[in-house]
Structure 1
Amino acid sequence: MSFTRFTGDTAAMLLIDHQVGTMGWVQSIPFADMKRNALMLANTARILNMPVVLTSSMEEYAQGPLLSELESILPQAFAERIKRAGIVNAMEDPQFAAAVTGLSRRKIIIAGVTNDVCTVYPALTLVSMGYDVQVVADAGGSPSVIGDDMSLRRMEKAGVTLTSTNQVIAELAGDWSTAAGMEIVQQVIMPALQG
């Protein structure tokens, strides 16, 4: 299997259901770590001018609103977020599917909450459609460790590449000495290490 690096010019990012209520259900990773990692991804996408699609499910119910920081980091993507009425697989929502396929990028980075419900099905769908998909396992989580493990195994078996926040950020940056690379170090990596 050949390796072709994901870059800011070739990849798009999907942040699925990083909602305050849903994130509170996660037990497989500490809330603070999951939140920090999701925001690191959002900031990296902003610096690299990557296309980002945000989606939420039933914001007015227990799932709650998306993280408010996402609005500050990605104001346009936040304003254009796809508010699903309850469809589990975001790729079965016509608006979300149109937003993703309209990006004209075949490399997709996904982080979602929860991994065992909201991440697994769009990832499987996109792989079946021929997309090259990476799922950032530590920018999401599940209500149980075993639930998280089962969903990650299922995705990997189907052809999804599993990655971590730091790993995918390094892959996207490619070279820390570039202007964008230095900005990522200063605005994303260092604050996370010091936080």
Structure 2
Amino acid sequence: MTLPANAPKIAPEPIRDPQTDHLLTPDNCLVTMIDYQEGQYATVGSTSRAEIDLGAVTLAKLAHAYEIPTVLSTVAVGMGVNENTVPVLTRELPGIVEIDRTGVNSWEDPDFRAAIEASGRKKVVIAGLWTEVCLAFPTLDMLLEGYEVYPVIDAVGGVSAVTHETAIQRMIQAGAKPITSLAFGCELMRNWARPDADRYRTIINDYFNRKREIGSSSGDLFTR
């Protein structure tokens, strides 16, 4: 049946197989967030904490809203050196238990690695502080293990702009596929006419509200 030229489109296109889709779907990926702890934030110099949280909170909200398997990890909490994951993220990830480590490369921790493997998924959406260490090292290792790895660039930061950008280039050269938090949400949602599109509408509205607040406090006003 052919619709008249002026007929509005209100039905979604057919959904591709969410397991085999080459793009990210709620059914073919997992999310991991690594070392979002006060000590790590304190030493980031490539961007502001507010900008990191803008992306990181959005990522956490997406993981929860779309019921994506999520692995949350910290370093040196059990050693008494660092604090747990910051509350701004844990309150968006109810029921997710932190995996604490002693090493800077989470892939070398058997509990972290087992959690990733237990998901049975090969597309890993990853974010961590710092970009050049806690994000880059497991990304490089997982790529060698045959995973597709998607660093969420607007949710991370490095000690300096140079270390952050260098780490991104290193990951890309190794085969990582960088994304951003809002783009990840669009990739999950895919079509505004789907019945679950309000999950993303809520998150994107929250994102822009928070972005306006950042702009107001910094003098960099944003309108939409």
Same fold (TM over 0.5): yes
Report how far residue 116 of structure 1 moved.
0.5
- Residue identity in the other structure for 1:20: E
Q: Separation in 2 of the partners of 1:190 and 1:181?
A: 12
2:75/2:101 contact within 8 Å kept: yes
User: How many residue pairs are counted as aligned between the two chains?
Assistant: 188
Match of 2:74 in 1: 56
Residue number among 26, 34, 37 corresponding to 2:52 in the alignment: 34
Report how far residue 5 of structure 1 moved.
0.6
Report how far residue 67 of structure 1 moved.
1.3
Match of 2:120 in 1: 104
Report how far residue 190 of structure 1 moved.
0.6
Residue number among 93, 102, 118 corresponding to 1:74 in the alignment: 93
SS at match of 2:40: helix
Runs (4+) off by over 3 Å: none
Q: Which runs of 5+ in 2 are unaligned?
A: 1-20, 211-224
Report how far residue 181 of structure 1 moved.
2.2
Q: Separation in 2 of the partners of 1:115 and 1:172?
A: 24
Residue pairs, 1:68-147, within 5 angstroms: 68-77=87-96, 80-85=97-102, 87-147=103-163
Task: Output one character per residue of 1:9-30: Cα deviation in whole Å (capped at 9) or x when no partner.
Answer: 1100000111122012111111
Report how far residue 64 of structure 1 moved.
2.6
SS at match of 1:141: coil
Match of 2:84 in 1: 65
Task: Output one character per residue of 1:105-159: Cα deviation in whole Å (capped at 9) or x when no partner.
Answer: 0111001111111000100111101111100111011010000011000000000
Report how far residue 72 of structure 1 moved.
1.9
Residue number among 185, 189, 192 corresponding to 2:207 in the alignment: 192
Rg larger in structure? 2
Deviates more, 1:106-115 or 1:3-12: 3-12
2:35/2:73 contact within 8 Å kept: yes
Residue number among 189, 204, 213 corresponding to 1:173 in the alignment: 189
TM-score by length of 2: 0.80
Residue number among 161, 167, 174 corresponding to 1:151 in the alignment: 167
Report how far residue 171 of structure 1 moved.
1.2
Q: Separation in 2 of the partners of 1:51 and 1:183?
A: 17
